[in-house]
A and B are shown apart, each in its own frame.
Chain A
Amino acid sequence: MMYHVSVESMMETNFSLMQFHKWSLSDIENLIPWEREVYVKYLVNYLEKERLEAQQRQNASI
């Protein structure tokens, strides 16, 4: 296989970017593949940070 990704996983990620983060499909499709990977990684890191902060706030309020 030429890639580490499949059509299915690629479309699933694109769908998430469009549905939850309001990116447009044409913007995503005009990125260079590694560029998209980097943005997705940043986004995952950001969401993870948000999740941890929310968890810390929840723990502090208990």
Chain B
Amino acid sequence: MPLPKVNAPTFELKLLSNDKTIKYRPFLVKEEKSLLIALENGNDKDVIATVKEVLKSCVISRGTKIEDLPSFDLEYLFLNIRGKSVGETVDLIVTCQDDGETTVPLTINMSDIQLSQEEDHTDTIKLDDNLSMKLKYPSYQTFIDNNFLMKDVEDSDRIDKAFDAVVDSIDQIYTNDEMWAASDCTKKELLKFIEQLNSKQFSEIEKFFSTMPKLQYKGKVVNPKTKVESEVVIEGLANFFA
């Protein structure tokens, strides 16, 4: 049987979450077509599912499970794949911060978009002198559920969803002597544990999510009307392609 034909160049990328280097190829016109169709349909669920399918096809390294990668790694990966497939720049229209209404075109080089991580970010939450909790990053599925499929969720359900997201992100709970892996606990047990936390402890968990690595571009634009220079900060994959 003949060996498969390699018909696209391959590139390497180091993932931030685990320092693992993965190999990928650019997407092809047929995959671009699928993405365009999903985007033009305007259904977030379709967009995310299609992006995931394309990522699965483009990642060549064995043993890389797209569903298990944290959302920021996936965003960074997709950004790089898109760069090698379509072009290394992205054209945006941004609003000048000084008057909040004048819009200017901005061309961003993909290499200027970085995964930013706040210095005080930690995945270990100290609940008290003896008890700590280790959190894991939300996976792509959690990211989809929490960020894209919440549009029609009632406020009361939103709180439940937030608790669910925290429960899904618990990796282990431990004291100086004992350790409980979240995988060995039921969701009900974990939820009960979370409900015992006070607001200060809960805000520490919130901080984990808010300081999580994210795609970020920082640049400057000059307002053509006022000639005032202002800073532009763009975060998150969706905003680069808004």
List chain A positions with a Cβ less than 8 A from chain B: 1-7, 10, 28-34, 36
Contact = CB atoms under 8 A, between A and B. Distances in A.
Contacts, number: 54
A2 B29 CA distance: 14
Interface of B: 7-8, 26-30, 32-33, 35-37, 39-40, 82, 84-87, 91, 241
B29 A36 contact: yes
For chain A, what secondary structure do more than half of its interface residues adopt (helix, strand, loop), or is it mixed? Answer: loop
A3 B241 CA distance: 8
B85 A34 contact: yes
Contacts of B84: 32
Given A2-B35, A2-B241, A4-B91, A33 B29 contact: yes
B29 A7 contact: no
7 contacts: A2-B35, A3-B86, A4-B91, A32-B26, A32-B28, A33-B32, A34-B26
A29 B30 contact: yes
B40 A6 contact: yes
A31 B37 CA distance: 18
A5 B36 contact: yes
Contacts of B82: 2
A1 B35 CA distance: 11
A30 B7 CA distance: 8
A7 B85 contact: no
B241 A1 contact: yes
A31 B28 contact: yes
